[in-house]
Amino acid sequence: MLEALTGFVVVGVAITLGWIIGRIDLLGPHARHVLGRLIFFVLAPFLLFVVLSQADVQTLFSSLLPVSAIAAAVVIGAHAVIARLVWKRSVGETLIGALSAGQVNSNNIGIPLSAYILGSAAYPAPVILLQLLVFTPISLTIFEAIASGRRSLGAALRRTVTNPIVIGSVLGTLVSVSGISLPPIVLDPARLIADAAVPVLLISYGISLHGQRVLGARGRRRDILLASALKLLVMPATAWGAALLFALSPMETFVVVVLAALPTAQNVFNYAQRYVVGESIARDTIFITTIGCVPVLIAATLLLSP
């Protein structure tokens, strides 16, 4: 179990470095904005292309996919109903809160933790596929519609289809499904750029923490606490129940519960930055779930590890 903590140490060091950079104002007042755009338009698309293009097709479309989808849909729907219908949040804040509850950090935390806890870095691939080819296009379509102020679904869809994150995800999946073996002259430059995505994203997040107090956003504490509770407790429990329903093996059940217990995805904060909505909800939920998932993962390992 101590080896599993290595992934959290790596993430923690990068975030702390970002906080120090923000504290000493090393990159100036526009650092968050510039890094956010760099991640969204350049680094993240390359990362997603490389990860998905190198994923095994059988792993991508394994039985883990429907179970992970059910677990995510339950918590996303629960948060959306409460935030929108009960608390009357805006569409943008509702979406950020729902994604904070149901979108897991399957890349920069999920991949290393999967390698340490589950014995293979390939297990998060179905979750990556689900989030990037289903949740991301839907979410970005809504964000684009809000940002453009248009009611035209066609216009929002066109902006989503041309979004670099969606393009990178789709191209990577097509390469994997087609069985194309990318030559080093193509893959190596893409991997070089992709390798910068995770550290820059974590540093950018660390910069955003400077000067902020967790749960310090007035009127949004319950959004953060609800998203954190759904993410840390309800989503793993739902994944476990769905695994029983689908009669998954003990190892497969262990895998889906561990994946469901991962903290909120850093991408949610990137979306909040990009579209200037719900930043405190995304930032604080990521912070709470990144720390809170440690005891949850330990419990899952002790109870379910075959």
The pLDDT tens digits of the residues spanning 113-169 come to 776 677 766 688 788 878 877 888 888 888 888 877 655 566 666 776 787 878 888
Domains of the chain with CATH codes:
5-304 (1.20.1530.20)
Cα gap 294→232, rounded to integer Å: 10
Q: For the segment 59-118, what is each residue's pLDDT rounded down to a tens digit?
A: 777 788 899 999 999 999 999 999 999 999 999 999 999 999 999 988 667 766 776 677
Using CA atoms, how far residue 26 sits from 17, 23, 97, 214, in Å, is 11, 8, 31, 23
| Of 206, 185, 62, residue with least CA distance to 126 | 62
pTM: 0.78
Q: For the segment 208-259, what is each residue's pLDDT rounded down to a tens digit?
A: 778 767 776 677 899 999 999 999 999 999 999 999 999 999 999 999 999 9
Q: For the segment 6-23, what is each residue's pLDDT rounded down to a tens digit?
A: 666 777 888 899 999 999
Cα gap 128→66, rounded to integer Å: 13
| Of 283, 292, 299, residue with least CA distance to 19 | 283
Beta strands in the chain (DSSP E): none
Q: Which residues pair with 104 in a beta bridge?
A: 264
Q: What value does the CA radius of gyration of the chain take, rounded to a whole number of Å?
A: 18
| Of 304, 223, 219, residue with least CA distance to 260 | 304
Helices (H), 210-262: 221-229, 235-245, 250-260
Residues 6+ apart with CB under 8 A from 39: 197, 200, 201, 204, 270
Confidence grade of residue 267 (pLDDT, cut at 50, 70, 90): confident
Using CA atoms, how far residue 203 sits from 21, 26, 242, 246, 292, in Å, is 8, 12, 36, 39, 20
- Per-position b or e across 92-120, b if 16+ CB within 10 A of its CB: bbbbbbbbbbbbbbbbbbbbbbbbbbbee
